[in-house]
Amino acid sequence: QLFLDDTKVKNFTTCFKDPAFLTFFFSRLERNRSGRHEAEFPFLSRCGRELNFLRCEDRPVVFTGMATDPGGNCRLSYGGGGLAVPFEPDKLAVFPGNGRLYHPAPERAGGVGLVSSELASRWSAEFRLLEGPPGAPALFLWDGKR
């Protein structure tokens, strides 16, 4: 969810919801190398001469949906559903420190995106636990493949 920085109560009613705006905003997302507020806001989205600074709890890209493109390839969507990357199940990774699931994202947006809890929950039946960190899935089955 995307909020104005000074929003006091952050919930569904106070976040930006317009898919066109979210697509526009996230399509311009990049690392903040502007020389301004870099420590506090590690990312920014440019709109003409305007710089929209962004900070996040974890990663700026959060994958919220999955769809199949006309060629039959699975894609993970983000940014209000208007942007997507190819789904690479072999590159899913769980960070043991927080138990969250991650997937590659566009490099300019940090290179790694967070998989939403809803998507991770949908896929949970396909995770297999093997030797390794306690509770962290070590294997993901997708389309019958490891």
31-85 pLDDT, tens digit per residue, is 999 999 999 999 999 999 999 898 898 999 999 999 999 999 999 999 888 999 9
Output the pLDDT for position 97: 83
Contact between residue 33 and residue 41 where contact means Cβ atoms under 8 Å apart: no
pLDDT band at 132 (very low <50, low <70, confident <90, very high): low
pLDDT in tens, 14-36: 566 678 888 888 999 999 999 99
| Residues listed for the chain | 146
Residue range 81-98: mean pLDDT, rounded = 89
Phi-psi region of 110 (alpha: psi -120 to 50; beta: other; left: phi over 0): left
Closest CA relative to residue 45, chosen from 59, 31, 58: 31
Structure tokens at 128: 């297999």
Point out which residues pair with 66 in neighbouring strands.
Answer: 76
- How far, in Å, CA of 134 to CA of 40, rounded? 34
Residue 8 has pLDDT above 70, yes or no: no
Helices and strands (H and E) in the chain: how many: 2, 12
CB atoms near residue 80 (< 10 Å)? 20
pLDDT band at 2 (very low <50, low <70, confident <90, very high): low
pLDDT in tens, 97-128: 888 999 999 999 999 999 999 998 888 777 76
Q: Which of 82-86, 89-93, 137-141 has the lowest mean pLDDT?
A: 137-141
Structure tokens at 84: 């997507």
Residue with tokens 């920085």: 5
Output the pLDDT for position 13: 58
Output the pLDDT for position 29: 95
Structure tokens at 106: 């566009």
The domain spans of the chain are: 12-54, 62-140
